[in-house]
Amino acid sequence: MESPKNNGAGFIQKLRSSRFTTTFSLLAVLTLGILAGSVLTSSVSANAGQKIDSSDARPLTIPSPVTLSNGFSAIVKQVGPAVVNINTESLPKAPKQRRGGSGRRGTPAPQTPNGDDGSGDQGDMQDFFNRFFGGGGGGQESPEAGERRALGSGFIVDPRGYILTNNHVVDQADHIYVKLSTDPDGGPGDQGRPATVIGVDAQTDIAVIKIDTKEPLPTIKLGNSEGAQVGDWVLAIGSPFGLSQTVSAGIVSAKNRSIDDVGPGGISNSQFQKFIQTDAAINPGNSGGPLVDMAGEVIGMNTAIYTQSAGSEGVGFAMPSNTLISVYNMLISPEHKVTRGSIGIQFQGVQSSAVGRMYGFANGGVLVSVVTPNGPAAKAGLQAGDVITSVDGAPVKDGDELVAIISNKKPGSSVKLGYVRSGKKETADVGIADRAKLFADLTGGSDDSNTPEESDAGEGKLGIKVQPLTPAIASKLGVKGGVVVTEVRPGSFADEISLSKGLVIIEINKVPVTDQSSYNAIVSGLKSGADAVFVVRDPQRPAGGNTYVGGTLP
């Protein structure tokens, strides 16, 4: 009988023998493979040296272009020249303090999804757009300079250079540049033509900008978005990720869609944003581009996407063209702002059918939850718990319809409201107030949904904030008027020309600055590329006289 030790030694010996056999077999197989490959290679090389007869082969020819029945290409050729690429630059800014009551974060949020007729806080949609488009359709930040660059799209609607785009594309931009499809590519340093903001409306995320032109520019026609039907073919045109003149096709997936905090049911609190939904691919950089129907007319402006991957997942949203037209017409008016009507009420946006049956508006109507003190509705005698059923004799289906009707009314006009109180039908003549003013009076602040405050008129162009000159300082300096610089943004035009905080501006380009309004008027007229010269006085050196600073606006 062998010992366990001897058995172990025999096992190891067998294992070594088995390894040797396996290794030898592998080497043999590899050797045969190499020899076979050499033979085949020699055979191919030998054939390559022989003259092969290919006289029976027919040369390929490029066929004549074929025009297909698809009408997409014809539409793109028609509208493409009017679609532009927008580049923006934003210099570093100090954190902006929100005024209490002027935004959603300034007031306590209601426990239920509330709506109103346009007099209350609509919320700040900018955060939503920033989340999906980086605040400007695909932004990049330069760590060295602290600058922020962004990309977007737009389309020309007036041959004199007026362009529609999204507010979030140009929001807080210090420099805006536009490139037409016909502009030559001047290389990395060629950003395009400088543009000026004519007006913005944050509530609908619409902006109007303008470029100077000596010749009429190609334009695109706006259609009637009410005519668009779910299932219709549409084309989205824009500059996703900076790739200009990119076209994607899809259909109208839905209409009258809300996207503020979109949930499974697509329910939203937004009052003035009802979108066309499409599955045409929309990506960062498409913001502000047109959504075109098969007639070659714009039925919407691509505004946002709903995504979990930061790319297109077939759920895009476009602001309807009927809204674009209405807002555009107000933004190009002398006031350059959107004015909306309000009667001063709030209502609950989403209600169960049981509430409707209990309060007698199961077939349509709006249950008033809050009546603004001293507002038009309060003065007309409306109370919380009343159910508004009609406006000027036309039935009102729900709160969205009431908002659409009232907001389009001009302040100073009036409407006849039909309402139900305790089961009894009543009517009342209710005046229409300016939503912005009513909201400002209600909160003690101002509504920031349209254009910047007057005190911020020079913030974009100059990079400064100012305030009116006090009588004491005016007397000390011996001047009749002016404005005091209260803030200078680092890296801005004002910073570069040494227009410092605390200085008093008394003249710009030989035009006296007497007060806040005159300052705003002068600054609004300053053009990119033009000289801007300021006459300033230093309150710390009242006997120092006038100082002249200036430069060429970027």
Give the tokens for residue 311: 């790319």
- Catalytic hit among 116, 121, 205, 279: 205
Give the tokens for residue 231: 């299932």
The 3-class secondary structure across 5-16, one letter per residue, is: HHHHHHHHHHHH
- Continuous H helices in 376-506: 376-379, 399-407, 435-443, 471-477, 493-496
Taking the whole predicted model, whether its pTM rises above 0.75 is answered as: no
Question: How far apart (Å, rounded) are the C-alpha atoms in residues 511 and 200?
Answer: 27
Give the tokens for residue 196: 């000026």
Q: What 3-state DSSP class applies to 490?
A: coil
Q: What 3-state DSSP class applies to 68?
A: coil
Question: How far apart (Å, rounded) are the C-alpha atoms in residues 479 and 503?
Answer: 13
Q: What 3-state DSSP class applies to 292?
A: strand
Domains 70-98+124-332 and 455-552 share a fold: no
DSSP string, 37-58: HHHHHHHHHHHHTSPP--TTPP
Which residues neighbour 319 within 8 Å (Cβ) at sequence distance 6 or greater? 204, 205, 206, 273, 275, 276, 300, 301, 303
Give residue limits of the domains in the chain. 70-98+124-332, 341-443, 455-552
Q: In this structure, which amino acid lies at residue 41?
A: T
Nearest alpha-carbon partner for 483 in 518, 511, 510: 518
- Catalytic hit among 287, 312, 390, 449: 287
Residue 140 CB: number of other CB atoms within 10 A? 12
Chain centroid offset of residue 541 CA? 46
Q: Is 287 a catalytic residue?
A: yes
What is the CATH topology of the domain spanning 341-443?
Answer: Pdz3 Domain (2.30.42)
Which pLDDT score is estimated for 26? 59
Which residues neighbour 206 within 8 Å (Cβ) at sequence distance 6 or greater? 164, 166, 167, 200, 301, 319, 323, 324, 327, 328, 331
Q: Is 124 a catalytic residue?
A: no
Determine whether domain 70-98+124-332 maps to CATH 2.40.10.120: yes
Nearest alpha-carbon partner for 274 in 312, 324, 311, 199: 324
Q: Is 400 a catalytic residue?
A: no
Question: How far apart (Å, rounded) are the C-alpha atoms in residues 408 and 415?
Answer: 12
Question: How far apart (Å, rounded) are the C-alpha atoms in residues 131 and 136?
Answer: 10
Pair 279, 248: CB distance under 8 Å? no
Which pLDDT score is estimated for 128? 43
Pair 553, 528: CB distance under 8 Å? yes
Chain centroid offset of residue 432 CA? 30
DSSP 8-state secondary structure symbol assigned to residue 455: G
Question: How far apart (Å, rounded) are the C-alpha atoms in residues 482 and 518?
Answer: 9
**Rounded CA Rg of the chain:** 34
Q: What 3-state DSSP class applies to 3?
A: coil
* Ramachandran category for residue 184: left, alpha or beta (phi over 0 → left; psi -120 to 50 → alpha): beta
**pLDDT per residue as tens, the chain (554 positions):** 445 445 555 545 554 555 555 555 655 555 555 555 554 445 545 455 678 888 889 899 888 887 765 688 889 999 999 999 999 988 765 544 433 332 232 322 322 223 455 444 334 444 444 434 434 445 544 444 455 677 899 999 999 999 999 999 998 888 899 999 888 876 666 678 999 999 999 889 999 999 999 999 999 999 999 999 999 999 999 988 888 889 999 999 999 887 754 433 333 345 678 899 999 998 888 999 999 999 999 999 999 887 777 667 888 999 999 999 999 999 999 888 888 899 998 886 666 677 777 777 777 888 888 888 888 999 999 998 889 999 999 999 888 889 889 988 989 999 999 999 988 999 999 999 988 777 665 544 444 444 434 445 678 789 899 988 888 888 888 888 899 998 898 888 998 898 999 999 999 998 999 888 889 889 988 888 888 999 999 888 887 788 888 999 88
The phi and psi torsions of 518 (rounded to 5 degrees) equal -65, -35
- Catalytic hit among 90, 168, 225, 253: 168
**C-alpha neighbours within 13 Å on the C-beta side of residue 408:** 13
**Dihedral sign (CA 97, 99, 103, 109):** positive
Determine whether domain 455-552 maps to CATH 2.30.42.10: yes
Q: Apex CA 134: angle with CA 298 and CA 81, to 5°?
A: 30
